[in-house]
Amino acid sequence: MKEESGKVSNITNRTILKLLSLVLVLSMALSVLAACNKNDDGVQIDENGVPYIDISFEKGKGPAIARGDSTKLEVKDGELKITNRTDAWNGVNFKGDKFIGNKVQVKASVKSANPTCSLSLQYDLAGTTAYTTIGTGNTSSGYYSQIQGEIEISEQAENVFFYIEASGVDDIYVKEFEVHVVGDYVDPSTLAKLEYANIADYPELKTLYADYFKFGCAIPTTFVSNKNQNYIELVTKEFNAITFENELKPDSILDYETSVSDLSKYNESPAVKFDHLKETLDYCKEHGIVVRGHTLVWYSQTPAWLYHVDYDINKDFVDRDLMLKRMENYIKSVFEWAQTNYPGVFYAWDVVNEAVADGGSILRDCEWKQIIGDDYIEKAFEYARKYAPDGVKLFYNDYNSYQNGKRDTIIEYLKPIAAAGNIDGVGMQGHISTATGVDYFIEAMKMYADLGLVVNVTELDISMPNNNNGEYDQGVYFNKLFKAFIDAKKSGVPLECVTVWGICDNLSWKSADKPLLFADDLSQKTAFKGVVAAVTGEELQKPADYVEIVRDTSTIYEDYEDGKFVGGPRFSATVGVGDSDPFDGSKSLFCTGGVDTYDGYSVDISGFVGKKIHYSFAVRSAAPQTKMTLDIDGEWPNIETITTGSDEWIEVDGYCDVPGGYDTLTLYFETTTTDSFNLDNLLIELAE
């Protein structure tokens, strides 16, 4: 019994020991698992508790997640290889939720046969998924290139991913991937939830402006389906027109799968899909909100396959005839769908978007132009007119369309289309700043109207100036612009709709510039109050904390004898002080190396804003003319044009009224060619 009991106790002891070690092993395994769990997003923590990512793919793929259903990731020899990509957006994701509310620097070492790869951020904000490029690199050299950039991740962002994608579907290789916080780290779990403002008593723009024009805004489709209804409620209250910010663009409605599924059916008539728009369009119909169709023919946000034989990007471009057929049938399908399902809902269509190049004297190079030729615009309008229902207005839409050069080029291209009766209006986008000349904007409007067309402002957003009074100054500018819109309308300019490009700053495509009417919590910005005041006639109140600008009106004088100058190069010019053939003394300023005529020498004259100045200087150049001009975007008012050419010194003396209303202002010297020029004894002083 003793023995027995001894055995029993022995067995019991061993069992207990075994059990104990099992528990130990299990708990160790569990804690390892838990630790893995904690790190399953691959984020490491430094000695200060700040998260970072730094992976070199030496030990497996780490936190890399395939982006795209078919995409495959494998790791070999310290490289992450991303294969089986069927779309340009396929690639690799890295979770980034630990960085919400922080500014981060992101770096990746990338190689690919694709011409470019990019590093971007994906996040959900108020129920809408947004994508922002952090950096893009040329990757097809056969070597690794480093792509990097800094980005601020909104405090309200959710489901954050950093990702790498490419311009085409070739494999991508990644050797290193890093994310580091810039500045002090904010722990996202400590961030307060956004409390939305109560909008019930807000003045209603659509009602206030009813006598003048429709008031629209751009929205994503998710506003309607979103469980957060604050946004759509504000839209319904304030606006009577909308534009889909992205979802009616060619890349959202052209249907690749269906188009390639039956080429005998779709080769000349690409398939289109609209299901994703239904909810919002039904909403608009129900609430009497009309819709701008944006956009049919555009160089951007159009899938590459549309231009290729068999819709296969590895094959050649199709010929002009087939491209014209695809264009015609695509336009036809869109109008047929709109008319069948939503008659009366669409008030206008942007038939062609942004066809004129920046700088403004030629057409932008794009696939439409390369395949069809310069008349692709005329053709698009011809087809649009053929299929558009009566009463739906057809528009050409562009940004910087108020700038003289671009405006004149647009007018030249639109003249024959207007003469043929195939266009009804010009959309002036209006992605502008508070330095944009209001008078120039209105003048361009009138010139478009002179073609017998109506005008719409289609995508208004105005960057907030980066100064102490930014919020107020932006409000003052909105106020001035809308007063000008009202006056223009009263004087007969056919301005029929003004659309703002979004409702609140954090959801704007230019969120860093805070360019919209409402703050992130939907509270009224001074910008909104400025727009309201423009129509009610109220005065916009200066805030108590307004910082008066102290103008430094001290004289600017530089003879360059000490080698110094207060200005700097404009764009790609080079500026320096040299001793070859000065006007007097032993030195003068030279400005060389420009690639464009507007490269030159810029001098800050912010101190003289709103004042009369006296200026004098000596200049020499081999260029036929040298000019002194004020740097006001869209206007560039010329002060002096000097006949140079001889490369002899010419003395200039004069007076000028520097326009008011600008926080900062520069003037610049340029030549009419890209020849260099020399300046000496530059004087700018108060004239009064």
Residues labelled as active-site residues: 354, 459
Residue nearest to ligand XIL (CB): 509
Of the candidates 380, 369, 373, 455, which has an alpha carbon nearest to the alpha carbon of residue 411? 455
Instruction: Please name the amino acid found at residue 339.
Output: Q
What span, in angstroms and rounded, lies between the C-alpha atoms of 255 and 471?
43
Cα 277 to the chain's mean position, in Å? Answer: 23
CB closer to ligand XIL out of 109 and 400: 400
Per-residue binding string, ligand XIL, 437-466, x by CB under 6 A, is ----------------------x-------
CB closer to ligand XIL out of 245 and 424: 245
Cα 100 to the chain's mean position, in Å? Answer: 21
CB closer to ligand XIL out of 333 and 353: 353
CB 525 within 8 A of CB 252: no
Of the candidates 568, 574, 598, 561, which has an alpha carbon nearest to the alpha carbon of residue 680? 561
User: Would you call 160 exposed, middle or buried from its count of C-beta atoms within 10 A (0-12, 13-18, 19+)?
Assistant: buried
Residue 105 to residues 210, 271, 625, Cα–Cα distance (Å):
47, 41, 46
User: Would you call 163 exposed, middle or buried from its count of C-beta atoms within 10 A (0-12, 13-18, 19+)?
Assistant: buried
Instruction: Provide the β-strand partners of residue 654.
Output: 615
Min separation Cβ 246 and ligand XIL, Å = 5
Min separation Cβ 158 and ligand XIL, Å = 18
* Structure token pair of residue 189: 């779990």
Min separation Cβ 686 and ligand XIL, Å = 41
Min separation Cβ 458 and ligand XIL, Å = 8
Instruction: Please name the amino acid found at residue 203.
Output: P
**Chosen residue from 93, 102, 302, 353 binding ligand XIL by CB under 6 A:** 353
**Chosen residue from 509, 592, 609, 650 binding ligand XIL by CB under 6 A:** 509
Map residue 291 onto helix, strand or coil: strand
Min separation Cβ 301 and ligand XIL, Å = 6
Instruction: Please name the amino acid found at residue 515.
Output: P
> For ligand XIL, how many residues bind (rule: CB under 6 A)?
7
CB closer to ligand XIL out of 174 and 235: 235
CB closer to ligand XIL out of 377 and 534: 377
CB 598 within 8 A of CB 673: no
CB closer to ligand XIL out of 432 and 575: 432
Min separation Cβ 573 and ligand XIL, Å = 29
Q: Are strands 44-45 and 103-112 parallel, antiparallel or unpaired?
A: unpaired
Map residue 506 onto helix, strand or coil: helix
- Helix 376-387 vs helix 320-341: crossing angle, to nearest 10: 30
- Strands, E assignment, 185-308: 214-219, 241-244, 290-298
* Structure token pair of residue 216: 């629209």
Min separation Cβ 429 and ligand XIL, Å = 6
For the residues of 214-248, what is the DSSP string, one character each? EEEEEE-THHHH-S--HHHHHHHHH-SEEEESSTT
Min separation Cβ 221 and ligand XIL, Å = 12
CB closer to ligand XIL out of 302 and 429: 429
Q: Which of residues 398-437 bind ligand XIL (CB under 6 A)?
A: 399, 429
CB closer to ligand XIL out of 109 and 353: 353
In the numeric block, the tokens 């990019």 are attached to: 118
Q: Which of residues 242-261 bind ligand XIL (CB under 6 A)?
A: 245-246
Residue numbers at the binding site for ligand XIL (CB under 6 A): 245-246, 353, 399, 429, 459, 509
